[in-house]
Amino acid sequence: MKQTQAWRQARVAGLRAPDGWLSLVGLHWIDPGTHRLGAAASNDLQLNTGPASLGTLVLKDGKAMFKADAAAGVAIDGRPASGEVVLRTDATTDERGPTIVSFNQGSANFQVIERAHKFALRVKDANAPTRTGFTHIDYFDADPSWRINATFEPHPKGRTIEIASVINTIEPMANPGVVVFQKNGKTYRLEAVDEGDGQLFLIFADRTNGKLTYGAGRFLYADPPKNGITVVDFNQAYNPPCVFTHYATCPLPPPENRLDLAITAGEKIYRGPQQNKDKP
């Protein structure tokens, strides 16, 4: 299946990107107040990469403000840092997305994320061992029988579904409808989430979890329905970022999406990065 092969290549390229999920090296929760940032132990928020002293972060009234140290070599959205800057979070509606604060000559960066009204620094480094040691992902053999035409049953506009996460938060997410498909003569249903782009985001668990696939479930996207029909291609079921790093905030499958079905398609359990055998 050429389509599956192309999807796999794009998936791996995204993971291997200098700022992809494999580059995560830190997740630091921020309390309201003033915080010093940097790699030195004396900082309020000690980062796993970067200069000893990076700058000062202030969280006040739901806004994060950052002022870089002059000698830290910091850039804000690609431009040399100058003065105090209000940082856009990953919840911004600004088309520019979250503010990227980069350092280490551009190889590392952080952004501010929001989860259930809490704020955190997400730190990335292109030289992270999870990225430099990455080799491959294991897959089930591509199988056309797992590319299934499904019906879409819309919910009333404005409906949400409670989605838990690995960081013990519960957030309401837009729930436009349910995807209904058949396999081996039985009917299965998956509640869909809309992240704002119109695609149907499916967070699901199945009978392979913990044995052949990641224990907490997998993700899958389906195109917006046309005339009430969409395609659910489980050959493109993929592991959440939490498989690759301890610093992700992955959502978990809602109870409605825990299927009594072994989905033997898509990505298998990740074996982890290659270890440097030269290290003691």
Those residues whose C-beta lies under 8 Å from the C-beta of residue 130, and which sit 6 or more positions away, are 22, 23, 24, 244, 245, 273
pLDDT confidence of residue 95: 92
DSSP label at residue 197: S
φ/ψ of 233, rounded to 5, equals -105, 95
Query: d(Cα 86, Cα 74) in Å, to the nearest integer?
Result: 15
pLDDT confidence of residue 277: 38
pLDDT confidence of residue 279: 38
Q: How confident is the chain (280 residues) per 10-residue block, as mean pLDDT?
A: 93 96 97 98 97 98 96 96 96 94 97 95 97 96 97 97 95 97 97 95 98 97 97 98 95 98 98 58
Domains and CATH numbers, the chain: 19-132 (2.60.200.20), 137-257 (no CATH)
pLDDT confidence of residue 276: 46
pLDDT confidence of residue 1: 79
pLDDT confidence of residue 264: 98
| Coil/strand/helix, residue 262 | coil
pLDDT confidence of residue 275: 54
- ∠109-114-116 over CA atoms, to 5°? 155
pLDDT confidence of residue 12: 97
φ/ψ of 36, rounded to 5, equals -85, 140
